[in-house]
Amino acid sequence: MTKRVSVLGCGSWGTAIVKAVADNVVSSDEFYSKVYWYVRDEEYEDRSLTSWINQDHTNPIYLPKLKLPMNIIASSEIRKVVENADILMVAYPPCYIIRLVNHVKEFIKENAYFVSFCKGLILCPEENRIRLVSDLIREQTGKRCLVVIGATTALEVVGEQFTEATIGSKSLECGREVKRLLQTDYMKLVITQDDVGVELCGSLKNVVAIAAGICDGLQLGDNTKAAVIRIGFWEVSELMNELFPDRGTNYLTIEQSCGIAELFMCMSHKLDDISDIGDLDLLNISVGRRLSNNDTNRPSIRSITDKIPYRTFVDGAEYAKQIYNILADRRRTGHFPLFVAVHRICQNEIKPQELIACLQSHPIHA
């Protein structure tokens, strides 16, 4: 019995994923040779996007220039894409997940499972909590959900540049299956059972990225920046346990591509020309830079983030705010000075120059 794979999401990341899967299943004994792809009902030059994909094998809106394999079948009818799938791969920004899941949950096969590629969390300010995208999918559908996150972008996968990602899966069997679907010569995957840690690393790094950008804006040296990044790392690993105790989180997950390799990106000095299809996560570094390189007229966080043209930008400042509120509620802010400092700098409560002073009595050095 060959298994069927469907991909939901036609942005650049979804396009890169469907290409990798299609290349892998085309001659597979294990998987059905066609991949179904849910594509929004959208038009480009008076033709529907599905028509472009199915006839010309190209996605001109979200990843032009890429030639797509011919075994991809695009459809804007979500039921048709979902109802026969054994593995459902979801590549949407977190803010769209609730609606998507509500829409599809009645069509899903008994033993199907999800794979989430969503880099981000669901913030619930009213309840003062954070939810994982994968938890939302599990709770709404009753199905298993794996996560795939790492230091890679659509552009690199499509350009066949060597990169890595991490599969977080409580089930090793499902993890290995997804690895066979996705791994190529140029996109390499490592499986860990700490799925919560994988998802949190991929999200909380956005706060550390702002701190790294502040270091750049203040023109601090590389060793100071490395200390800030490492301390940020440490706080991420502590937050994994603080926010999701008893979920089997492991601090060593930080050593996977979803962890340190993503944070290595913060150390790069080539961030001023961020590609429009590139890694939106790096925009948080730019946010940090812009917060701190203007001494006299400090911009508000809103004026910076509102100028970012991408609707799906993962806003590290919002994450910092939500985490701060959770920690304040628990009287645990003293354990996380960097996250607290980033929040307060973003809210103009303290100056960026005070970031380092906030770290001078960090619990990691106690």
Q: Which SS3 state, helix, strand or coil, does residue 89 take? A: strand
Measure Cα distances from 2 to 41, 80, 176, 182 in Å.
29, 18, 16, 16
C-alpha 59/C-alpha 15 separation (Å) is: 8
Contacting residues for 52 by C-beta, under 8 A, at least 6 apart: 44, 58, 59, 60
CB 321 within 8 A of CB 194: no
Question: Binding residue per annotation — 154?
Answer: yes
Question: Binding residue per annotation — 259?
Answer: no
- Annotated catalytic residue within 34, 67, 188, 205: 205
Question: Binding residue per annotation — 52?
Answer: no
Smallest gap from Cβ 8 to another protein, in A, equals 24
* 58 vs 250, beta carbon nearer another protein: 250
Burial of 1 (0-12, 13-18, 19+ CB in 10 A): exposed
C-alpha 45/C-alpha 52 separation (Å) is: 10
Q: Is 65 a catalytic residue?
A: no
Q: Which two tokens stand for residue 343?
A: 């929040």
Question: Binding residue per annotation — 37?
Answer: no
Smallest gap from Cβ 16 to another protein, in A, equals 12
| Nearest Cα residue to 124 out of 146, 145, 94 | 94
Question: Binding residue per annotation — 13?
Answer: yes
* 26 vs 220, beta carbon nearer another protein: 220
Smallest gap from Cβ 38 to another protein, in A, equals 27
Question: Binding residue per annotation — 10?
Answer: yes
Q: What element of type H or E holds 106? A: none
C-alpha 253/C-alpha 240 separation (Å) is: 10
* 269 vs 311, beta carbon nearer another protein: 269
- Tokens 């499972």 locate to 113
Contacting residues for 330 by C-beta, under 8 A, at least 6 apart: none
Smallest gap from Cβ 192 to another protein, in A, equals 12
* 133 vs 260, beta carbon nearer another protein: 260
Question: Binding residue per annotation — 9?
Answer: yes
Binding site for another protein (CB under 8 A): 151-153, 155-156, 161-164, 183, 185, 188-190, 220-227, 229-231, 233-234, 237, 251-252, 254-257, 260-262, 264-265, 267-270, 279, 356, 359-360, 362, 364-365
C-alpha 255/C-alpha 29 separation (Å) is: 34
* 88 vs 355, beta carbon nearer another protein: 355
Smallest gap from Cβ 193 to another protein, in A, equals 16
User: CB neighbours (10 Å) of residue 251?
Assistant: 16
Is the Cα dihedral 249, 250, 254, 255 positive or negative?
negative
* 262 vs 318, beta carbon nearer another protein: 262
| Nearest Cα residue to 266 out of 309, 328, 194, 210 | 210
Smallest gap from Cβ 133 to another protein, in A, equals 22
**Residues annotated in a binding site:** 9-14, 154
Catalytic residues: 205
**Residues annotated in a binding site for NAD(+):** 9-14, 154
